[in-house]
Amino acid sequence: MNANCMPAITVEAVPSGYNIPTWLLQSICDGVCDNHLFLYPNEGSRSQILHRLAQLNVPIDTTHHLTLRRFISLMILDSGLPPVLQDSSGLFLSIHAHVKKAAESGDLPLMYSPQNQRQWSPYQTERLLTLHRSLSELKNPWNWDNDPGAKEFDSILRKVCEQLGGTHPHHALTSLIKHYKENDSVPFTLNDVQGLFVLDSAPDYTEIERTFLQQIGGIRPIHQLCVPGSFRLGYHGSHLLEGDWEYVNEETLPSWIPKHQIWDFDDINSWRSPVSLERKTTYHRITVNRRAHCIDAAFEILHEYRKSKNGEVLIIDGSAENNRRMWNSRLRSLGYLTGFEKQSLEQIPSLASLAQLMRIGDGLDAWSIDKLKSLFENQSLPLPNGGVGGLQHPTKTDWTPRPHPHILENIARTFHVRGGLGALHRWLSTLSNATPQLGIERERALQELEETQWWLGCIAQTWHPLLDKYSQEVLKTEIIGCSSGEELPMPPRPKDGFQWLDMLLSKLDWGSLKDLTVGHNRSIAGLQHLRESHETTQKTLKKANLEVPSTGQEFLNYIDHLIQNTTVPRTRNKGNQIQILTPEEAQGMEADLVLLVGLDVGSWAMKSPRVPWLDAQSKLRLGMLHSDLTIRKGRHHLRHLLNSATTVIVFDSTKEEGGGPSAPLAEWFTELRQSGELSLLQNPPSFLPQSSHQTGNLNRSWHWTTDEHGEAWLTPRPFTVSVQDGVIFAERAGHRLRDQRQRLGLALRDGLQPSGNVLSKSSVAMAHEVPIQLDRFHRQPSHKNLEKNEYLPWHLRKYLLSVDGLNLRPKKSQVSVGSNQHESWPNLGMKGSRSNGPAIDPRPLPPQNMKSEILNSVMGYSTPIEVDVWSPSRIQSWLECPRLAWMKNHLKAQAQESQSEDLDHRTRGTILHDAEASLLRFHGVPTAARPITSPRPLDRTPLEQLWLSILDFLMDEVSWLKRDDAIAVHRCREMLGVTPDIWRNYLEGEGQISIGGRIGRMLLSDYSLNHAAPLACEYGIGLDGNSAITLDACDDKGNSSPFKIRGRIDRVDEIVLDENQRKEAIADGVLSETIVSEPMTLGPGPLPPANRLVVIRDLKTINGPKINEQGNRHRRGLFDEVQLALYARAWELSFPGDRVVGIGVTEIGESTVHYLEMDQSVSKYLHDAEIGERTYYSQKLHRYLESKSSEDIGLRALIAERLRTSNRAILAAKSGNVNSTPGHHYSFSPIRLVYPSKFGGNA
């Protein structure tokens, strides 16, 4: 182009509110403008005109209707320049690779200093691209003394684009300007173009855009249509002319432009243009109490509008991108086609799951239990069995590689296997040595252990190309089955990450994935676009002489980048009747109804975007300091929107704290108030019926509220509490089905006349459960109304909802409050001076008969639950709350277990139990076997040898103690009293470890029991080949009601009497000289002589305890739990002739104390016996139902009472009683989420 050729650019003033002026649209329809080219401000305005012309059957050449971006791309093609490169992952990765190489070679010294362990990151490349994008908008971008390296980056960018054979978008305009400076030829696109119309756009063109369009003006004349007004404030449209210029008039109008009447504007400062006056635009202001009400209120307006009109609607939301899914969901519910908007792959569930699954072996949580479970529990990317299958076991034909979640959870918990470096090695080594736990069916456990080990090995082999070198080294050795001892076959390893991805996709359950995609999920399309993006990126990188990373961390980062930067394009099945747009997207568009919904300070912010390395001083030197540009654009957009429709409705969130209109809208409101025009916005829209906002109409959508100026404004009324005739009730507005259902629910709750039918009576009953239970809770009997020393009668248990008001876990000072000598026995505890005494356990509480089949089915009754053999733990759960027991044991509904950072409390307990078992084995008492025939006290075995036996157990079974992490250090000190360093030295044969720590103190306490000879350890009742025991229990009326139990007793000891004490016991008929073959009786009356006296111990790990909490766990085991009593009676029935004279909890905390609740009738033989700390609580509190006192038989009466309580729980299950028993136990149970905090829940 001739450098002396002046650009032919003219400017014409047009009123705000038009897409295309009427005269120009008519000229297009008449065919007068077939050789004219139109530049639209955005895609929305272009599409609207093309759609309108198509409706009028006007033939159009779409290449003459362009946006600036489309025009630039066409001009690039016309000029013969390399095509504009798509902003793709391949382009970015090519740029990043070259920039990284340059930076690490020292070519960007102000941005990066090469050091060990430091790498140039993709984020730094993104920042450089952002800076370069801003600088590329300038004519002379490199006149910057403080350039941190953008010029060098520009050179790298050009080199990359040269390799790729394209033009970077940042260089497009610069290349065009340079090309047309050097060439005089007319571009092909402009050959048949007589002139260009540039439609009104918000300020301001960038320097490079203005230069380019001015250059085009030297080739073909340009006629700009601009809205007049203050350019400084932003009301004037962006213009191309520089210096002093004038609008055209009828005399200066270029000849190539169709003749028309030039708009002679008078008041350029008025916000209202002739367009809105001609349309008779009405304006309405709606105030909202909360911004969250805006969307609902907008759809209420749409609902009423569509009843009478069918015009085009623009919904303007400054946060349209963030809210688009919500808007589209609501529009689809009204029957409008919305299609799918452009969506990033990382927003699609299946791709997000893929990104998570591929990093199973990466990061600080590599191979964690949660990551492993995601392989077979993931619903977004269904991968049956984690993608493992088709393998045959060498010897066991019915064994297959599959995960057993409880095995994984137990291994992770017991061996403290957490995620991170080395986790895969810990998993495989632990599973390779795993053996079945006590109490589990051995054959089934062996199969489950090896199947889980096999499955994990297969997963590791499949993920091999994605793993770090340390994990790959682990997989070099064969995997030998922990149960069979056979080498387990493994799937073939993928050679690289892409083969792994193909394998993964081939293993997907595509049928399930297809079902997920119906209606809203784009998973299959997302996976397809990921594949296409990879293929395109691979070709791009090949052009740039780069290779696609295929293994390890680089491959993971590569796939992550594709997922984050690839989008699924919007679908075409989208209607134009209602559009959701930002103010910028709506520039130049017209409609019948415009809803300015999201123009508040939070949604439509006026902040200027930040550019890396460009502070205010640098921007000023470069001529880029346009701090007011954003608000100028906002003013221009708002002025157009206010004049673009027949009806404009503005939403104002001033009432909400922290809300309020954005700056342009706030300025407009201020202008209206100052001019007295604000009152014009008070009238409701004409299509809104009066009944929708007239006082007195129930469930109306609107009401009138008064602002601080005393003016009434229409306000949405989604939910309101009203008072009528002294009655308080709730109103719910809205026309959606959910609103109708809520109105029905509110009417039912408030006792009003319902409209509609209930879908489920059970749902209504469920809604009333908590209010009814709360009422019962406040009415239930308590000790508050009793006099001192008065007992709460037993018969009141049927009115109780919770036992939190009863004392079932008495402290030491409370256990003596009350007596079994009172005529009212059993009872619910005596009221003392400071606290209440222990209650005889009334659980499970009977359900309340609500006289309604539906209410009863929801609140307390189910189908009978039959269990052949019960365990103490299952009985205990039915005692605490039948509803919880029903959910956990019958429905198997419980919260997913999460692994804590610290060692699980169950694992700590297991270690201490197993340490106890190891020292007893060394002493001669086998684990999980029948009782020995010649028991001896522990002090008959040297103490040091017992300690060494424990250390040997820890060496073999608790491998994590030698680690250096914080948990291992803390727990090693706690358990042994030494650091992991000392423990490792001991394992290597260096030095000795003296008795210490929690385990050492437990050993010393055990060793002091010189009158207790261990008989059995972990003895299985109904386990290990032993038969389940039928306990001779009675019901509350004294009738026989036996039941079977199984379980495992921690420890059983025989009491060792000296010769004189034994003779005295035989003389008194307590012990027998001959073998007794009948079990001890359980009831009033004298007991027959026994073969031996035994005690039952239950080991419990506790924290502390504090001084005032010592013995609490023991008392809880007696009064709140049934396990000890059930085991005591089961032992007597299993070994006829044995008499249990003591039961108790061994509290293992900072110190170990062996508590025993003793039978007082044998106390005279045990004056100096060391068997533990003895208690006699039951002697005062318990008696048999059929007796009035309990002389010397308190313990046996306690056992009988606990059997009776257990029987009550079993009968409740058989009767189908699943009523809830709210209490503090809800705070750590799954049901806490649905019960109010008053009951111990979280709701």
- Other Cβ atoms less than 10 A from the Cβ of 6: the count is 9
Token pair belonging to 221: 């004349």
pLDDT of residue 1243: 47
**What average pLDDT score do residues 1198-1212 get?**
95
Report H helices in 236-293.
274-279
Token pair belonging to 556: 């993971």
Domain housing 225: 9-82+179-269
pLDDT of residue 340: 63
Whether the predicted pLDDT of 1005 surpasses 90: yes
Say yes or no: 220 and 261 in one domain: yes
Question: Max alpha carbon distance in the chain (Å)?
Answer: 139
Q: What 3-state class would DSSP assign to 66?
A: strand
Q: How far is CA 661 from CA 131, 606, 639, 640, 1169, in A?
A: 32, 11, 15, 17, 84
Q: What is the pLDDT of residues 797-826, one digit of tens each?
A: 999 999 999 999 999 889 888 888 888 889
Instruction: Give the CATH number of the domain where residue 231 resides.
Output: 3.40.50
Question: What is the rounded distance in angstroms from the CA atom of residue 340 to the CA atom of residue 574?
Answer: 8
Specify the amino acid at residue 28.
I
Question: What is the rounded distance in angstroms from the CA atom of residue 1071 to the CA atom of residue 510?
Answer: 73
Dihedral, CA of residue 815, residue 820, residue 824 and residue 826, to nearest 10: 70
Say yes or no: 361 and 302 in one domain: no
* 544 within a domain of the structure (yes/no): no
Sheet with strand 1029-1031: strands edge to edge: 869-870, 1043-1045, 1029-1031
Instruction: Give the CATH number of the domain where residue 677 resides.
Output: 3.40.50.300
Residue 1222's nearest CA partner among 728, 852, 780, 792 is 780
* Residues in CB range of 549: below 8 A, 6 or more apart: 497, 555, 557, 558
Say yes or no: 308 and 360 in one domain: no
Cα-trace Rg, the chain:
42
Is the distance from CB of 715 to CB of 288 less than 8 angstroms? yes
Q: How far apart are the first and last CA of the chain?
A: 75
Question: What is the rounded distance in angstroms from the CA atom of residue 448 to the CA atom of residue 445?
Answer: 5
pLDDT mean across residues, the chain: 89
Residue 3: band (very low, low, confident or very high) from pLDDT cuts 50, 70, 90? very low
- Per the listing, tokens 């394009």 go with 569
Token pair belonging to 267: 């008041």
- Other Cβ atoms less than 10 A from the Cβ of 210: the count is 17
- Other Cβ atoms less than 10 A from the Cβ of 265: the count is 16
Helices 405-414 & 905-923 angle (0-180, nearest 10):
70
Is the distance from CB of 99 to CB of 190 less than 8 angstroms? no
Whether the predicted pLDDT of 634 surpasses 90: yes
Residue 552's nearest CA partner among 471, 457, 456, 459 is 471
* 319 within a domain of the structure (yes/no): yes
Say yes or no: 1196 and 1107 in one domain: yes
* 750 within a domain of the structure (yes/no): no
Q: Count of domains in the chain?
A: 5
**What average pLDDT score do residues 660-687 get?**
93
Token pair belonging to 742: 């809520």
Q: What is the pLDDT of residues 50-104, one digit of tens each?
A: 999 999 999 999 999 999 999 999 999 998 899 999 888 899 999 999 999 999 8
Q: What is the pLDDT of residues 441-452, one digit of tens each?
A: 788 999 999 999
Concatenate the DSSP letters of all residues of 699-715 into one string: T-SEEEEE-TTS-EEEE
Say yes or no: 185 and 236 in one domain: yes
Sheet with strand 222-226: strands edge to edge: 9-13, 222-226, 195-198, 36-40, 65-67
Say yes or no: 370 and 504 in one domain: yes
Question: What is the rounded distance in angstroms from the CA atom of residue 1243 to the CA atom of residue 1239?
Answer: 9
Question: What is the rounded distance in angstroms from the CA atom of residue 1191 to the CA atom of residue 1086?
Answer: 11
Is the distance from CB of 315 to CB of 597 less than 8 angstroms? yes
Say yes or no: 1164 and 1057 in one domain: yes
pLDDT of residue 119: 85
Residue 420: band (very low, low, confident or very high) from pLDDT cuts 50, 70, 90? confident
pLDDT of residue 520: 66
- For residue 27, give the H/E element and its range: helix 22-29
- Judged by average pLDDT, the poorest of 143-147, 545-549, 552-556, 726-730 is 726-730
Residue 404's nearest CA partner among 364, 433, 431 is 431
For residue 1105, cis peptide bond before it (omega within 30 degrees of 0):
yes
Residue 696: band (very low, low, confident or very high) from pLDDT cuts 50, 70, 90? confident
Q: What 3-state class would DSSP assign to 910?
A: helix
Say yes or no: 392 and 246 in one domain: no
- Beta strand 9-13 with 222-226 is parallel
pLDDT of residue 182: 87
* 503 within a domain of the structure (yes/no): yes
* 769 within a domain of the structure (yes/no): no
- Other Cβ atoms less than 10 A from the Cβ of 728: the count is 9
Question: What is the rounded distance in angstroms from the CA atom of residue 637 to the CA atom of residue 627?
Answer: 17
For residues 520 and 742, which has the higher predicted lDDT (pLDDT)? 742
Q: What is the pLDDT of residues 1215-1232, one digit of tens each?
A: 999 988 888 777 666 555
Question: What is the rounded distance in angstroms from the CA atom of residue 774 to the CA atom of residue 801?
Answer: 9
- Beta strand 645-652 with 591-598 is parallel
What are the E-state strand segments in 1112-1199? 1138-1148, 1152-1158, 1173-1175
Is the distance from CB of 111 to CB of 149 less than 8 angstroms? yes
Is the distance from CB of 79 to CB of 176 less than 8 angstroms? yes
Percent of the chain with pLDDT over 90: 60
Q: What 3-state class would DSSP assign to 1171?
A: coil
Say yes or no: 73 and 95 in one domain: no
- For residue 557, give the H/E element and its range: helix 552-565
pLDDT of residue 108: 87
Percent of the chain with pLDDT over 70: 95
pLDDT of residue 1189: 58
Residue 1150's nearest CA partner among 1103, 1100, 1115 is 1103
pLDDT of residue 492: 93
**What average pLDDT score do residues 489-505 get?**
93
* 878 within a domain of the structure (yes/no): no
> Considering 131, 166, 201, which residue would you say is the last residue of a domain?
166
Question: What is the rounded distance in angstroms from the CA atom of residue 472 to the CA atom of residue 494?
Answer: 13
Is the distance from CB of 687 to CB of 309 less than 8 angstroms? yes
Question: What is the rounded distance in angstroms from the CA atom of residue 526 to the CA atom of residue 852?
Answer: 52
- For residue 729, give the H/E element and its range: strand 727-732
Is the distance from CB of 988 to CB of 969 less than 8 angstroms? no
pLDDT of residue 1226: 72
Say yes or no: 1091 and 1193 in one domain: yes
Whether the predicted pLDDT of 859 surpasses 80: yes
* 711 within a domain of the structure (yes/no): no
Q: What is the DSSP letter of 645?
A: E
Residue 153's nearest CA partner among 85, 81, 95 is 95
**What average pLDDT score do residues 620-635 get?**
89
Q: What is the pLDDT of residues 145-192, one digit of tens each?
A: 888 989 999 999 999 999 999 999 999 999 999 998 888 888 888 998
Q: What is the DSSP letter of 679?
A: G
Q: What is the pLDDT of residues 230-239, one digit of tens each?
A: 888 999 999 8
Q: Is 947 left (phi over 0), alpha (psi -120 to 50) or beta?
A: alpha
- Beta strand 313-317 with 1173-1175 is unpaired
Whether the predicted pLDDT of 1233 surpasses 60: no
> Hey, which of 240-244, 647-651, 988-992 has the most confident mean pLDDT?
647-651
CA atoms within 13 A on the CB side of 503: 21
Question: What is the rounded distance in angstroms from the CA atom of residue 27 to the CA atom of residue 779?
Answer: 84
Is the distance from CB of 704 to CB of 713 less than 8 angstroms? yes
Token pair belonging to 196: 């260009």
- Other Cβ atoms less than 10 A from the Cβ of 795: the count is 11
> Considering 534, 560, 585, which residue would you say is the last residue of a domain?
534
**What average pLDDT score do residues 877-886 get?**
90
Residue 463's nearest CA partner among 565, 335, 555, 558 is 555
As beta bridge partners, residue 714 has 286, 704
Say yes or no: 286 and 371 in one domain: no
Buried-exposed string 697-717: b where 16+ CB fall within 10 A, e elsewhere: eebbbbbbbeeeeebebbbbb
Whether the predicted pLDDT of 904 surpasses 80: no
Whether the predicted pLDDT of 1186 surpasses 80: no
- Judged by average pLDDT, the poorest of 303-317, 897-911, 1036-1050, 1162-1176 is 897-911
Question: What is the rounded distance in angstroms from the CA atom of residue 460 to the CA atom of residue 470?
Answer: 12
Say yes or no: 378 and 317 in one domain: no
pLDDT of residue 897: 64
**What average pLDDT score do residues 686-711 get?**
89
As beta bridge partners, residue 285 has 650
pLDDT of residue 160: 93
> Considering 222, 242, 269, which residue would you say is the last residue of a domain?
269
* 525 within a domain of the structure (yes/no): yes
Whether the predicted pLDDT of 314 surpasses 80: yes
